Amino acid sequence: MSHNSSDTTLLQKAGIVLFAAAMLIFTGALFMTSFQLDESSVKSAINDDYQYPFVEQQMAALSGKEYGNIFSFMLAYNDAMKKAQAAVKTDVENNLKLTTNDSDYWNKVLQDYKVKTSRLSAARASAAGFLPGNVWLVFCLSILLGIAGALMYNLPKLRFLPGIKNNHIFHSKLHSRGWPGILLGSYLIGFYIVLYFFPEYLVSWIILMDPVSLALNGGPASQWFLYGFLYTVAILVMGIRMMIKYRHNMYQLVRTGSVMFFQTAFAFLIPQILALLHQPAPDLKNIWPLDYSFFFEYRLDELTQSGGLGIFMLVWGIALFVTGVPILTYFYGKRWYCSWVCGCGGLAETLGDPFRQLSNKKLKAWKAERWLIHAVLVFAIVMTVMVVGTYFTENSRLFLIDSYTIRSWYGFAIGSIFAGVVGTGFYPLLGNRTWCRFGCPLAAYLGLVQKFKSRFRITVNGGQCISCGNCSTYCEMGIDVRHYAQRGQDVVRASCVGCGICAAVCPRGVLRLENNGTDVGSRTQELRTVHFPETEVNLPKG
C-alpha cells in the first residue's frame, strides 16, 4: 500500500470516528435537558378563559418540581391534562346542562387536539439544564463535528481514480440489509414517527436549532425548522459525496449541484427570509399534488390576504401544475423535476444513493407500483376537489363524506406515514426511491405525461450490450434496464426519473439520455468516450 493510500485510509477512519462521536452526542442531547413547568406557556397554549382555571388547578401540583428528562415531565404533564379534561367535562355536564349531542358541548370541553398541541410549547418553555445554557457548544460538538467527520471520510476519495466502482457493495452489511442497515433504518423510522406525531420528545433538538433559526427568520426553531435544517445538511454533505463518486460524468455533477441549490435556496433559505418579512413562506418549488395542502382553506386565505406577493404565489403554484408540468415534461421528461429540482428526489439521490441497488426489480413490484402510485394520485385529486368545494360552498360534506375527514386521512396515511416514515426511513431496507416509485402523486402525473407525450427516453445501442447488469443494479426506480438493452429497445417508462446513472455505469456506452427519439439512427457514426481506470479512449460505435 502506498504512502498516500495509507494517509487516505487513516483520514477516512478518523472521519468515521468523528461522525460516530457526533451522532452519539446528538442523540445524547435529547437527555441533556431538565424541565420545570412554565404555567404561562400552558395558558398561552390553551388560550381559553373557561378551560384554563381547571388546567391551572391540575398544573399547580407540578409547579416547583424539576424533572430530569422529557419522559418524566411529559408523563406528569399528560396525567395532569387528563384530570383537567375530566374536570372540564364534569363541570360542563353539571352546570351548563348540555349533552354530548349539543355542538356547544364540544366547544366547551378540553379536546384532545388542544392538549396535543400544548405539549411541545409547554416542554419548550419549561426547558432548563445543560443544553439550553450551552446550545452553541452542543451544536458544534454534534452538528458541525458530524459534518466534518462526513467530509473527512468522503473528500479523500478524490485521490482515487474516477469511475464507478462497485467495491463489493452487496457484501456490505450496511448496504445489503444487514444488521447495520436495519439499525440505521430503525433510527430513521423512529425519528420520523416522533417528528410527525410526538414532537415534544424532540424538544432538545429543536432548542439546538434556535441560534440558526433566530439568525434566519428572527424566531425560535420549530419541529419543521429542525427537519428542514437536517434535510438540507444531509443533501449538501451527501451531495458532495455524490459529486466525488460521479465526478467523471458532467451530467451527474450538474444534476447533483441543481438539487443541492434548489433545496438550500428554495426549500430552506427563501422561506426563512419570507417568514422574517412576515410573508407567506411556502417552498416555491413544491407542486400540487405533492404539495397536497396547497388548496386547504388556511393556505388559500393566507395567500389571498397577503397582498401582491401572496397572489403571485397562488398564481405561480397553479401555473406550475397546469402548464409548467406538461410543457417541461414534454421537452425534458420527468427528470426536470424528479432529478433536478424535487427535495424528495434530492434526498433520495444524495443520502439515499448508497442504497439505490436495493430497489426491487421484480415484475410483481412493478405491478404494485402502477396501482399504488396512481391510486394515491386519484386520492389526492378527490381530496382536493372536496376541499375546494368546502372552501367555496362552506359545506364540508359531499356524498355523505366529510372533506375534513378525507384530508385528515390523506395527511396521516400519505403525507406522514407513506412520504415520511416509509419513504425515507426505509432507504436501507427497500431502496432510496420507495416514495417516488409507489406513492408520489406528482411523480404519477409527470409519469403519465412522460410515457405518452414526451420527447424524453433512454435510447439503447443494443449491439454493444454485454449483459453485465450494472444498469439494472443501479436503477433506483426498479426498472430492469438490461432487459431493454439486450433487446435494443428504448426505455420509455413512466417511472423513469432520468437520473442517468444507468448510462453512467454502463462500461460500453450502450445507454444514452435523449430528448428526441428520431436521432437514434444517426448516432451510429458518432464516437463514444469509454472510461477506463487510468485514461479515456475514443472508440467507434458499432
Give the pLDDT confidence of 253-278 residue by residue, as tens digits.
999 999 999 999 999 999 999 999 99
- Mean per-residue pLDDT for 299-317? 92
Radius of gyration for the chain, computed over Cα atoms and rounded to the nearest angstrom: 26
Dist CA 473 CA 475 (whole Å): 6
pLDDT of residue 518: 43
pLDDT of residue 103: 66
Cell matching residue 59? 398544573
Cell matching residue 304? 389571498
Give the pLDDT confidence of 112-171 residue by residue, as tens digits.
888 999 999 999 999 999 999 999 999 999 999 999 999 999 999 888 888 777 677 788
Give the pLDDT confidence of 420-447 residue by residue, as tens digits.
999 999 999 999 999 999 999 999 999 9
For the whole model, what pTM was predicted? 0.90
Dist CA 406 CA 301 (whole Å): 20
pLDDT of residue 438: 96
Q: Nearest CA to 164 among 259, 247, 238, 257?
A: 247
Give the pLDDT confidence of 222-262 residue by residue, as tens digits.
999 999 999 999 999 999 999 999 998 899 999 999 999 99
Dist CA 257 CA 475 (whole Å): 20
- By residue count, the chain amounts to 542
Give the pLDDT confidence of 178-232 residue by residue, as tens digits.
999 999 999 999 999 999 999 999 999 999 999 999 999 999 999 999 999 999 9
pLDDT of residue 434: 95
pLDDT of residue 96: 65
Q: Nearest CA to 485 among 247, 505, 430?
A: 505
pLDDT of residue 521: 35
Whether the Cβ atoms of residue 261 and residue 270 lie closer than 8 Å to each other: no
Dist CA 206 CA 223 (whole Å): 6
pLDDT of residue 64: 85
- Is the pLDDT score of 345 beyond 90? yes
pLDDT of residue 251: 92
Q: Is 294 helix (H, G, I), strand (E, B) or coil?
A: coil
Q: Which residue type, as a one-letter code, is found at position 407?
A: R
SS (H, E, C) 91-133: HHHHHCCCCCCCHHHHHHCCCHHHHHHHHHHHHHHHEECHHHH
Dihedral sign of CA atoms 184, 222, 257, 141 in order: negative
Strands 397-398 and 536-540: unpaired
Q: Locate the DSSP E strands across 336-404.
A: 397-398, 401-402
Considering the chain, what is the average pLDDT of its residues? Answer: 88
Whether the Cβ atoms of residue 195 and residue 202 lie closer than 8 Å to each other: yes
- Mean per-residue pLDDT for 3-10? 70
